[in-house]
Structure 1
């Protein structure tokens, strides 16, 4: 299984879904510009979903020279930005299926779904406590780690944060916008076509996609939707689930896991017939 976590690669040993239910081998990958992977010199034009897909294609094709079987892909969305949209993670005959958690922000000017969901999450007491404590604090050392994250809002959008209730309290109003965290010598220009291309692929052409979203996760308030042309795919929502929702928490967890195993068995059988045992 190819695990694309969205930020830097973790050196800790862990088995996310679907590695665990499938008892599969796993390859974890980080993204360019994150952690210990910044190019030198850095050309920020290369930080885009097309390049991320190309990087993962390269990893998959290299592994296919060693392992003859097919690969499953798990794209775990991090923060607001899914870094590896589904149509760009195909590796030809080496694709098993995809378990995805990613937002679908095709119009960054329209964020009502995100803003409408926030008031429904938690209790009134929790909301009041957050409003009292909601003074954003960032240090340079922390903010610098997420410059690539905020830069990718140029393709994937960014959700606004309401601060009207903090009028007169904020020292730097508007400080949560991406421009605050990206150095001024790096241009930021929104390019909406990238995520629209992804959405326009999922609905008519998506195949073997499994979306597992948390019902209370604002990051997926604008989820991907299946269309008339989507084949053998599923859109699940974990009741009360958060940003770390798992298919094991679904009411239909057994059915979802069975689907993953069916995909794995089908691909394994095909690989055996094609490449030999």
Structure 2
């Protein structure tokens, strides 16, 4: 508590100091402060001079300038005359000649973006540009033609942003992202390989062909201890065997919280079953082997079983209210990205809704689409055969890390963090791998010798409540 309070206090003091300096007339300021102000004004002038870029706001968290920006993008890059939309992004500025980290989260921007310096940004002490994915939050065209939500369209959004900001920044560029953000960074690299000098993709799934998703089933057959796997399977079976009583608990929960099911899954029963199918995945995505003793026994009461599953997989997610924000992700999964296609052999005879475990189940009827396997096959082939300067970080106990990209040998690397879940990163690698990955990243960025970083400030997809969102 104290360290958080001191951090917030330091940031507020930095902002207050900056504001008081700008309030002084130039003649009253020391020469160094006048020069600093002139540099800041020059940065603001250069940003506002970029065609289509709007500076929405500026603040000054300790040691940095932070801008909320908006950039006019074509709704359809192949037909730019069909209209534009405003894509939201942020800029954390340290120096015009420092490396720039392009952070693609794959969803909306973090709730508190000023605190979200990514691991590469910390290692490089660089600037950071964070981009909101098209169709998320305010970065959605109106009216929206969902056919324009493709990996190429988003990659081209990012390409235009990089080209625009390279008029301001002379340093090297590194792209990064975790989970769906890591996938997004891979797709940008595939279509515009000259935009950045290297990519660090964390826990990025590679669902190249849905009918061949056997790696996921093999993962669940081997992860953790046999006793833990058995306990998780027993929880899923027990919950489905008590379906009537458990659905009644969900319906009561929904009534208290205003949850509905009509726009997406259609019923509380379907929502319940989807959550139970997700339970083991959600456990390994965010928990660890150390949490296995807390898995409830089959003798647990209905309320105890419901509360544990709710804590792990969150019953409120598979509701209209929980899903709406993630519609763009599920649309992308249904059309291009793919999804884990699991067998659930241990639940045979207990599931009621065949074909439920796929993204079209959680989309409104108007957004349900056919899957096209060609984009993922193309990306997978390109990464294997033509990519270079790509760094992949995966977690040993992370379900999303079961199907991985295979990087080319052209100065590209893959590391696995021992025992790590979906929060795997460079700091959690073995000592030798951590040193090698850090040296590679800094060489790509042309940076000085590495500094020690804090893992506590490294963001991932911690805003995502459940396994079906990456």
Give the alignment's TM-score, normalised by structure 2: 0.52
Distance across 2 between alignment mates of 1:187 and 1:180: 8
Give the one of 144, 147, 159 matched to 2:340. 159
Q: CA deviation at 1:78?
A: 3.1
Q: CA deviation at 1:122?
A: 3.3
Aligned match of 1:218: 399
1:158-197 alignment runs, 5 A limit: 158-166=339-347, 172-197=353-378
Deviation digits for residues 113-143 of structure 1, max 9, x if unmatched? 0111023223423424642458513221111
Whether the 8 Å CA contact 2:190–2:383 is kept in 1: the answer is: no
Q: CA deviation at 1:172?
A: 4.6
Superposed CA RMSD: 2.4
Give the one of 69, 72, 75 matched to 2:174. 72
Whether the 8 Å CA contact 1:50–1:88 is kept in 2: the answer is: no
Q: CA deviation at 1:232?
A: 0.8
Distance across 2 between alignment mates of 1:186 and 1:139: 16
Give the one of 92, 102, 106 matched to 1:2. 102
Change in Cα spacing, 1:232 to 1:176, as seen in structure 2 (3 Å) is same
Q: CA deviation at 1:11?
A: 3.9
Moved more, 182-191 or 150-159: 182-191
Aligned match of 1:248: 427
Whether the 8 Å CA contact 1:61–1:91 is kept in 2: the answer is: no
Gaps of 5+ in 1: 267-277
Change in Cα spacing, 1:201 to 1:195, as seen in structure 2 (3 Å) is same
Whether the 8 Å CA contact 2:336–2:371 is kept in 1: the answer is: yes
Aligned match of 1:62: 164
Distance across 2 between alignment mates of 1:65 and 1:263: 20
Which has the larger share of helix?
2
Give the one of 389, 412, 415 matched to 1:208. 389
1:100-139 alignment runs, 5 A limit: 100-101=201-202, 102-123=204-225, 124-125=227-228, 126-128=231-233, 130-131=235-236, 132=238, 135=273, 136=275, 137=315, 138-139=318-319
Change in Cα spacing, 1:145 to 1:173, as seen in structure 2 (3 Å) is farther
Deviation digits for residues 24-71 of structure 1, max 9, x if unmatched? 111111111122322211111111100110011111111112112221
Aligned match of 1:272: none
Higher RCO, Cα 8 Å, sep 6+:
1
DSSP-derived class of the 1:146 partner: helix
DSSP-derived class of the 1:160 partner: coil
DSSP-derived class of the 1:59 partner: helix
Pair 1:98-2:98 in alignment: no
Pair 1:48-2:150 in alignment: yes
Q: CA deviation at 1:75?
A: 2.8
Distance across 2 between alignment mates of 1:34 and 1:121: 34
Change in Cα spacing, 1:264 to 1:130, as seen in structure 2 (3 Å) is farther
Aligned match of 1:150: 330
Q: CA deviation at 1:180?
A: 1.2
Deviation digits for residues 208-230 of structure 1, max 9, x if unmatched? 10000111111121111134xx3
Aligned match of 2:141: 39
Deviation digits for residues 224-249 of structure 1, max 9, x if unmatched? 1134xx31111111111211101111
Deviation digits for residues 235-275 of structure 1, max 9, x if unmatched? 11111121110111111101110111111117xxxxxxxxx
Distance across 2 between alignment mates of 1:140 and 1:11: 21
Give the one of 129, 141, 152 matched to 1:27. 129
Whether the 8 Å CA contact 1:56–1:89 is kept in 2: the answer is: no
Whether the 8 Å CA contact 2:135–2:141 is kept in 1: the answer is: yes
Distance across 2 between alignment mates of 1:119 and 1:145: 32
Gaps of 5+ in 2: 1-100, 241-272, 276-314, 448-470
- Decide which structure has the larger Cα Rg and report it: 2
Change in Cα spacing, 1:44 to 1:129, as seen in structure 2 (3 Å) is same
Whether the 8 Å CA contact 1:60–1:91 is kept in 2: the answer is: no
Q: CA deviation at 1:103?
A: 1.6
Deviation digits for residues 79-101 of structure 1, max 9, x if unmatched? 9x933434336363x52210013
Q: CA deviation at 1:191?
A: 1.0
Aligned match of 2:461: none
